[in-house]
Amino acid sequence: MRLSLLLIMFFGLQGLQAQSPSYVDFEWDVLRFGYVAPSGGEVSGGFAFGGELRYNATDNFSIGIGGDGALFGDNLGEDGDFGVAASSLLFGDFYFSSTSATRPFVGIGMGRYRTGTLTIVNGNVEEVIDGISGFGFAPRVGYEFGHVRLLGQYNITTKEGMSNYFGITVGLTLWGGYKGDSYTPNSNSKRNALD
């Protein structure tokens, strides 16, 4: 299902004429990771990881699809039961700058969440229990530093029994980036790179 959505978005947008004159059309957070903290206090924080593919529809707006995972627990790295969460979301981000490789943004995502538990014994995964799945959304803020992306995201689930959680992640972005002097901002005309 996730792969199908990714392929539909990728090939569907391939046919569109590029609308973002100042930024490369596609960018991919190949890996992002960081700290995650659930609300409610039943378990402590843990770590998050994920990735995301985006299309720069304009200089100030991008749409994307991404997946994230999170592992919560009091003794990460030791034996025990841990909470797990995963999401598959569609995103829209608004950027406050269109003339630089570094720019702040705000956005929101929505899609499917799944939570469960993971049991580790003697360093090996003994049991994975799928728990609850349901719809949710994720407001977020962040800052791009060229090909590095810092992101704060609050994951809000709408189904009873699922925990909300906040994550701070940093990611490496492939492709994408500011075209700089190769293009005139707010124009589709390409300048000669040798000028």
Q: Which residue has the higher pLDDT, 190 or 77?
A: 77
Give percent helix, percent strand, percent coil of the chain, each to the nearest 5.
Answer: 10, 60, 30
pLDDT digits (tens, 9 = 90+) for 169-185: 999 999 888 887 544 44
Q: Which amino acid is at 88?
A: S
Q: Residue 123 — pLDDT band, cuts 50, 70, 90?
A: low
84 contacts 59 by C-beta, under 8 angstroms: no
Enter the pTM of the model: 0.77
What radius of gyration, in Å, describes the C-alpha atoms of the chain?
19
Residue 119 in any domain: the answer is no
Q: State the pLDDT at residue 21.
A: 83
Indicate the burial class of 8 (C-beta count within 10 angstroms; 0-12, 13-18, 19 or more). exposed
Residue 73 belongs to domain with CATH number: 2.40.160.20
Q: Is residue 30 part of a domain?
A: yes
Identify the residue with better confidence: 150 or 178. Answer: 150
**E strand or H helix that includes residue 3:** helix 2-14
pLDDT digits (tens, 9 = 90+) for 47-105: 999 999 999 999 999 999 999 999 887 666 666 778 889 999 999 999 998 888 999 99
Which domain covers residue 44, as residue numbers?
Answer: 2-7+24-78+85-111+133-178
Cα distances (angstroms) measured from residue 195 to each of 135, 178, 180, 181: 51, 18, 13, 9
Q: pLDDT, tens digit, for every residue of 155-164? A: 999 988 888 9
Structural domain contains residue 185: no
Query: Is 123 a member of any domain?
Result: no
Q: How many domains does the chain have?
A: 1
Give tens-digit pLDDT for 18-58: 467 888 999 999 999 999 988 866 667 889 999 999 999 99
Neighbours of 96 (CB within 10 A): 10
120 located within any domain: no
